[in-house]
Structure 1
Amino acid sequence: MITCVVDYQIDPSKLDDFERFAHAWMELVERHGGVHHGYFLPAEGASDEARALFSFDSLAAYEQYRSRFGSDPDFIAADQIRDQSGCVLRYNRTFMRPLLPSRVRP
């Protein structure tokens, strides 16, 4: 399993637009074989940071999902929310692998 962690710097005055953008991407990840763990939005402290986490079974499965960027109309529409509203100022993607609790203790 591979988990993509996306850190966003957002425009806090455009939080409603960011939420529309987030809902669109959560649906796309789920529709194309991933598991979305949610978007985490500002509550206290810094008001311009948000984070998303989603997983695919493998990097190859993620790459298959990514191959739709720029050609699939639903992916283009989701990106247009971000681009037209200016709700995302910057983002950074990191790939991680989870270390999960062992079900069997030695």
Structure 2
Amino acid sequence: MTVTCAIRYVIDPFQREAFEAYARTWLTVIPACGGDLVGYWLPHEGTDNIAHAMISFPSLAAYEAYRARLRADPAGAANFALARERRFILSEERTFLTPVTS
């Protein structure tokens, strides 16, 4: 069963470019650590402080193993540290979804 982690970010709209750089870093780090990155989305029109990401995994156990690899990865750890230092992410929520199939 595939599980997709949907992340909803509340970002500082005045630091949109910083969040975009953060997201671009994950484009290579997440797949290298075992996540099937569906993508990152930035605000375009309307609400200017909500961004999204979706990453799929074969199971919740695979997600947990991925999180451990991500935290140990030097580029991943540096990206997490950058977000904490710059404070362009105000909050984030994770929801785990499964696809509807016939």
Structure 1 length-normalised TM: 0.86
Query: CA–CA distance in 1 between the matches of 2:22 and 2:73?
Result: 16
Match of 2:7 in 1: 6
Counterpart code for 1:30: P
Query: CA–CA distance in 1 between the matches of 2:35 and 2:6?
Result: 13
Query: CA–CA distance in 1 between the matches of 2:59 and 2:30?
Result: 14
> Is residue 9–residue 91 contact of structure 2 (8 Å, CA) maintained in 1?
yes
Secondary structure of 1:24 counterpart: helix
> Is residue 39–residue 53 contact of structure 1 (8 Å, CA) maintained in 2?
yes
Residue 47 of structure 1, CA deviation: 0.3
Match of 2:81 in 1: 80
Q: Whose radius of gyration is greater, 1 or 2?
A: 1
Query: CA–CA distance in 1 between the matches of 2:45 and 2:33?
Result: 33
Bigger fraction of residues in helix = 2
Query: CA–CA distance in 2 between the matches of 1:72 and 1:98?
Result: 29
Q: Which runs of 5+ in 2 are unaligned?
A: none
State the 4+ residue runs in structure 1 displaced beyond 4 angstroms: none
Whether 1:92 aligns to 2:93 is: yes
Residue 68 of structure 1, CA deviation: 2.9
Counterpart code for 2:88: C
Query: CA–CA distance in 1 between the matches of 2:34 and 2:69?
Result: 13
Question: 1:32-43 residue pairs with structure 2 within 5 A?
Answer: 32-43=33-44
Number of corresponding residues: 101
Identity of aligned residues (%): 40
Structure 2 length-normalised TM: 0.89
> Is residue 34–residue 57 contact of structure 1 (8 Å, CA) maintained in 2?
no
CA displacement 1:31-66 (0-9 Å, x = unmatched): 122211111111111100011011011111111111
Query: CA–CA distance in 2 between the matches of 1:37 and 1:9?
Result: 19
Counterpart code for 2:4: T
